[in-house]
Structure 1
């Protein structure tokens, strides 16, 4: 079974869910059940988090940024299986709960991670952009920040194939395997097309489709495939609107040709061999 990491719509769904539940809540205690989730000194993390208030939750690409009182930010990456929930403090802990934040109102923010791949780190607000993981991120996929001309120029510089380039987060932030396959199908571009072979018109269509598709997925609370869920196990519904991902052998919704699956850059890749022909 192929891994499915939460992509931008799923992380945005978590951000919105948490914002409604923990904003302006003070942290009274921090319990590290599996300390390796924390990057940096664990004692410093506990000390800095305790007594502070969750003021706001932002997102950058697939990273959650918990803005705390007194100018600190907790940077959180869910990786493959990370999940947050808000529970009453007398509810038993799940066996995969690794970090618990007790809140002043008797609730707990709990971080659950079957694979233990997720990471948290505390930094001064504003310095998170200097972290190597965030430094390389391309623009957010919004009309204001993701500019067509810049996108096209970046593609012209790349020798990679388009599927790999869109996944690496440097041209645009937040895309993962599912949404790249969907966007390339929408734009009728073969996933193994070299970036520098993509025309300006194709780049424009792809740019618009990236913004459109991610916004549609956010409205549907993300795509639940395998294990993803939002806060308190909220399930997304965008999997019901996918055109190609996970549909090998099914007819293309546009031309009825059986969809195919290949491996591109070690990632399972779904496409239509008729609509998305590789230019010779």
Structure 2
């Protein structure tokens, strides 16, 4: 699934082109996504100017004066710019058409979403999909003390707690495994058992892991491409544990172990991450 760095990389890509431009047309080729694309969305936003392109967690926010388009890339989707005369591909389900640019939402599994939040209903962060999301990992309020306080009393494994997204958003499956390795924390450790010192280490590890991924344009998920249609490069070169089951740990040469937590694969070093 595209995670925070992939979504943020996409946001940066579309923002340089969409911001300040008038959307000539929005075309829906397949409305049956995770939630149906509203029938009247094209008429709602066509001819209107894009004010900015934001992000909340893994949701892209295309902001207009009268509301916000909420876009989720699903399990394997992408939002990419294509040449003006390029033929639409199979699984391209929605298209944003500007005077000198086109963007296509590609989503083979149709787990993504394109929704509308009208400004008359209040700030977009009050939308049901966004209202309960945790803090952004690069927010100044995401501190070791904040993490420590929010983990108190939680018996769930720390990996699963990070994935839940109600404490901090954007730490998905790939980056959770990488962050926990960097912090030397076993992914099965009860979240509430982490000391203040270990929360400080984990907070820094999360920020460092996501920052490095952003600098490299996101991971090479099998179907992921950024806004220009190019694949990311980070985890093809730099992943420490993710999808490296059986390979030697970069630090101690112990074989990396793979386990399943909550139906998701987790990778860790049983020696470096003993507890």
What TM-score does the superposition give when structure 1 sets the normalisation length?
Answer: 0.92
State yes or no: 1:261 paired with 2:258.
yes
Choose from 72, 94, 97 the match for 2:92.
97
State yes or no: 1:52 paired with 2:29.
no
Shift, 1:112, TM fit: 1.3
Partner of 2:131: 135
Secondary structure at the counterpart of residue 182 of structure 1? helix
Distance (Å, rounded) in 2 between the aligned partners of 1:217 and 1:162: 21
Once the two structures are superposed, what CA deviation does each residue of 1:37-83 show, in whole Å capped at 9, x if it has no partner?
Answer: 38467232112111111221111111101011x23110111111221
Secondary structure at the counterpart of residue 275 of structure 1? coil
Partner of 1:107: 101
Distance (Å, rounded) in 2 between the aligned partners of 1:30 and 1:259: 46
Once the two structures are superposed, what CA deviation does each residue of 1:142-184 show, in whole Å capped at 9, x if it has no partner?
Answer: 1513122121011113221101000010110101111100111
Secondary structure at the counterpart of residue 192 of structure 2? helix
Partner of 2:115: 121
State yes or no: 1:277 paired with 2:271.
no
Secondary structure at the counterpart of residue 157 of structure 1? coil
What TM-score does the superposition give when structure 2 sets the normalisation length?
Answer: 0.94
Distance (Å, rounded) in 1 between the aligned partners of 2:29 and 2:255: 48
State yes or no: 1:194 paired with 2:204.
no
State yes or no: 1:221 paired with 2:211.
no
Choose from 172, 178, 184 the match for 2:180.
184
State whether residues 117 and 127 of structure 2, in contact with CA within 8 Å, keep that contact through their aligned partners in structure 1: no
Distance (Å, rounded) in 2 between the aligned partners of 1:218 and 1:152: 25
State whether residues 81 and 229 of structure 2, in contact with CA within 8 Å, keep that contact through their aligned partners in structure 1: no
Any unmatched runs of 5+ in structure 1? none
Distance (Å, rounded) in 2 between the aligned partners of 1:152 and 1:57: 32
Count matched residues.
272
Distance (Å, rounded) in 1 between the aligned partners of 2:132 and 2:153: 16
Partner of 2:239: 242
Distance (Å, rounded) in 2 between the aligned partners of 1:22 and 1:143: 25
Secondary structure at the counterpart of residue 233 of structure 1? coil
Change in Cα spacing, 1:268 to 1:40, as seen in structure 2 (3 Å) is: closer
- Most deviating of 7-16 and 30-39: 30-39
State whether residues 143 and 211 of structure 1, in contact with CA within 8 Å, keep that contact through their aligned partners in structure 2: no
**Superposition RMSD on alpha carbons, in Å?**
1.6
Choose from 8, 14, 25 the match for 1:29.
25
Any unmatched runs of 5+ in structure 2? none
Shift, 1:257, TM fit: 0.9
- Most deviating of 122-131 and 169-178: 122-131
Distance (Å, rounded) in 1 between the aligned partners of 2:101 and 2:140: 38
Choose from 16, 39, 53 the match for 2:12.
16
Shift, 1:256, TM fit: 1.1
Once the two structures are superposed, what CA deviation does each residue of 1:180-218 show, in whole Å capped at 9, x if it has no partner?
Answer: 001111111111100111111001100011111101100
